[in-house]
């Protein structure tokens, strides 16, 4: 069969080979991007809660301290989600009949817990402890973002292991004076490097990257 292949076959086969290579590379690259994407990490997406609770209003607007609701944040690994009772402290008086708070009142009446949706959710094999981080001068905002500007709360950071390690390796870039831990609008000073270094010494912050620091 003389000259079975047309002249175009040359370009076709070469393009095909090239395309294969490019395709594989692209897929790998896109995959890598995807697993790091805010979407995949569940970042920046406000969660719909049974009660449309607004940190923006309560923290930003009314200026309620984090610890008013998250009572155990300084004492325990778990920062605590406020019991219905805490809501009713105020809402038995104000907005006492607002339809938006129906669920809360119902919960208070029936004693059934409000079913909040978890926003910051680490895998079960990760053991994070709020108390120690707060104690060492890591601000709420450092991990949770400007909650005071969130009408509905979302996850501000990726919470990947990389992200954790970044701070565990360079605490001096993130640590702040203890008195500012609960400030939402704290802006690190220009000399954060020096201040950080100083606080790291003062608070005896260790650079803990052992596996058992978080995985047990």
Partner 1 sequence: MSPNLLYAIALEFDSPSALVKATKSVRERGFTKYEVYSPYPVKQLDEIVPGTDPVPLMVLSAGVLGAVTALVMEYYIAVYEYPINVGGRPLNSWPSFIPITFELTVLFAAIAAFIGMLCLAGLPLLHHPVFNLPEFARASSDRFFLMIEERDPMMEIVEEREWLNKLGALSVSEVESR
Partner 2 sequence: MKSQSQSGFVPIEQLIAAPRPRHWQTVEQYEALARGGSEEYCEAEDTPLDEVSRRRFLQLAAASFAFAGITGCTRQPPESILPYVTEPENVVPGRPKYYATAIPVGPMAQGVIVESHLGRPTKVEGNPAHPASLGASSVHSQASVLDLYDPDRATVITSLGQQRSWEEFRLALTNLLGPVQTRGGGGLHILTGSVASPTLGAQLQAVLKSLPNAKWHQYDAAGPHGARGGANLAFGRPVNTMYRFDQASVILSLDADFLVTGEPSTRYAHDFAARRVRGNRLDMNRLYVVESTMTATGGKADQRLPLQYSEVEQFTRTLGETVGVPNVTAASNARYSEWLGAVAKDLAAHRGSSIVIPGAHQSPAVHALAHAINAQLGNIGNTVVYTDPLEQEPTDEVASIGELAQALRENQVELLLILGANPAYDAPADLGFPEILSRAKTSVLVSLHSNETAEWMTWQIPESHPLESWGDARAYDGTVSIVQPLIETLYESRSPIEILDAVLNPPGRSGYDIVRAYWQGKSGRNDFEAWWRKSVCNGVIENSALPLITPALATNWAAKLPNVPQQQGIEIVFRPDPYMYDGRFANNTWLQELPQPMTKLTWDNAVYLSSATAKRLGIAAQHRVELSLRGRTVEGSVWILPGQPDDTVSVHLGWGRTRSGRAGNGAGFNAYRLRTSDAMWTAPDLQIRLVGGTFPLATTQLVQSMEGRALMISDTVDRYRSDPDFVKKMTKDPPDGLSLYPKWNYTGHAWGMSIDLTKCVNCNACVVACQAENNIPVVGKDQVLNRRAMHWIRIDTYYEGDIANPRGMYQPVPCMQCEDAPCELVCPVQATNHSVDGLNDMVYNRCVGTRFCSNNCPYKVRRFNFTLYEDWVTESIKLQRNPDVTVRSRGVMEKCTYCVQRIREAEIYAQVDDKGLPDGTIQTACQQACPTQAIIFGDINQPDSHVRKLKEEKLDYELLGELNTRPRTTYLAELRNPHAETEQA
Partner 3 sequence: MSFEDEQRMSRRPPEPGTSVAVIAPHETFRSVTDQITSVVLTRRTPLFWWATFGAALVGIGFFVVSTCWLFYKGIAVLGNQIPVAWGYPITNFVWWIGIGHAGTLISAILLLLNQSWRNSINRFAEAMTIFAVACAGMFPVFHLGRAWILYWILPYPNTMHVQPQFRSPLVWDVFAVSTYATVSVLFWYLGMIPDLASLRDRSKSKLAYGFYGVLCLGWRGASRHWRWHESASLLLAGLATPLVLSVHTVVSFDFTIAILPGWHSTIFPPYFVAGAIYSGFAMVLILAIPLRAVYGLQNLVTERHLNNCAKLMLATGLILAYTYLFEPFNAWYSGDPYEMAVVNNRAFGPEAWTFWTTILCNVIIPQSLWFRWVRVNPKPLFFVSCVVLYGMWMERFMLIITSLSRDFLPSSWANFVASFWDNALLLGSIGVFVLFFMLFVRFLPMISIFEVRELLPHSSPTGGSEK
The nearest distance, CB 207 to partner 1, in angstroms, is: 11
Residue (53 or 174) nearer to partner 3, CB: 174
96 contributes a contact to partner 3 by CB under 8 A: no
Binding mask 125-144 for partner 2 (x = CB under 8 A): x-x-x-xx--xx--------
- Nearest Cα to Cα of residue 90 among 106, 72, 112, 68: 68
From the list 106, 111, 79, the residue with the least C-alpha distance to 91 is: 106
Residue 3's binding partner out of partner 3, partner 2, partner 1, none, with CB under 5 to 8 Å set by partner kind: partner 1
Calpha distance 106→126 (Å, rounded)? 34
CA gap 73, 133 in Å, rounded: 9
Helix (H) or strand (E) holding 130: helix 130-135
Under the criterion CB under 8 A, does residue 186 sit at the interface with partner 2?
A: no
Q: Give ∠ CA 81-63-105 in degrees, rounded to 5.
A: 45
| CA–CA dist 79, 48 (Å, integer) | 21
Could you say which residues in the range 141-180 bind partner 3, by CB under 8 A?
Answer: 158, 160-162, 165
- Residues lying near partner 2 in the complex (CB under 8 A) are found at 31, 34-36, 40, 42, 71-72, 74-78, 80-85, 107-108, 110-118, 121, 123-125, 127, 129, 131-132, 135-136, 160, 204, 206, 208, 210-213, 215-216
């Amino acid at each position: 069969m003389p000259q079975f292949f047309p002249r175009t076959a040359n370009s076709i086969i070469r393009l095909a080979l090239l395309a294969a290579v490019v395709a594989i590379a692209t897929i790998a690259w896109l995959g890598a991007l995807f697993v790091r994407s805010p979407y995949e990490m569940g970042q920046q997406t406000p969660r719909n809660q049974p009660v449309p609770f607004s940190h923006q209003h309560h923290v930003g607007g009314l200026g309620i301290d984090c610890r008013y609701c998250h009572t155990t944040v300084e004492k325990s690994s778990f920062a605590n989600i406020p019991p219905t009772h805490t809501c009713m402290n105020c809402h038995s008086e104000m907005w006492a009949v607002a339809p938006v708070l129906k669920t809360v009142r119902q919960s208070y009446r029936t004693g059934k817990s409000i079913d909040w949706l978890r926003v910051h959710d680490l895998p079960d094999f990760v053991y994070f402890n709020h108390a120690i981080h707060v104690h060492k001068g890591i601000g709420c905002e450092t991990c949770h973002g400007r909650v005071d500007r969130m009408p509905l709360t979302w996850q501000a950071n990726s919470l990947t292991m990389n992200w954790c390690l970044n701070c565990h390796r360079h605490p001096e870039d993130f640590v702040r004076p203890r008195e500012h831990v609960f400030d939402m609008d704290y802006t690190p000073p220009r000399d954060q490097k020096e201040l950080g270094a100083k606080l790291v010494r003062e608070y005896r912050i260790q650079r803990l990257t052992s596996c058992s620091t978080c995985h047990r």
